[in-house]
Amino acid sequence: MAADKAVGAVASFATLGLFVYYSTWTLIMPFVDEGHPSHNYFPAWKYAVKIPLLIAILLFTIVFTFLSLIMIKSKRD
């Protein structure tokens, strides 16, 4: 039971960290001067769109492949 809470806490903090990082990258960094050293901690801004789009395409592919396999299997039965 304690291991479940620990895993949940780690997952929550990791998700919170990713949210703060991505929000800072997309909402604050476009307004910071190009020469500022904080730009070294973030990839190019074009990846702020490409990475989530790639993840969304991957997730949709997995979900629809799973649904297709379920539909094919249920049709055979």
Residue closest to 45 by CA, chosen among 32, 57, 58: 32
Q: Are residues 15 and 49 in the same domain?
A: no
Burial of 12 (0-12, 13-18, 19+ CB in 10 A): exposed
Task: Tell me the pLDDT tens digit for each residue of 13-27.
Answer: 999 999 999 999 999
Q: Are residues 12 and 25 in the same domain?
A: yes
Contact 38, 30 (CB under 8 A): no
Q: Are residues 52 and 62 in the same domain?
A: yes
Q: Are residues 8 and 37 in the same domain?
A: yes
Contact 25, 42 (CB under 8 A): yes
Domain range spanning residue 33? 1-42
Q: Are residues 28 and 55 in the same domain?
A: no
Q: Are residues 26 and 7 in the same domain?
A: yes
Residue type, position 19, single letter: F
Tokens of 73: 């299997």
Task: Tell me the pLDDT tens digit for each residue of 48-65.
Answer: 899 999 999 999 999 999
The pTM (predicted TM-score) of the whole model is: 0.71
Total domains, the chain? 2
State yes or no: pLDDT of 1 exceeds 80. Answer: no
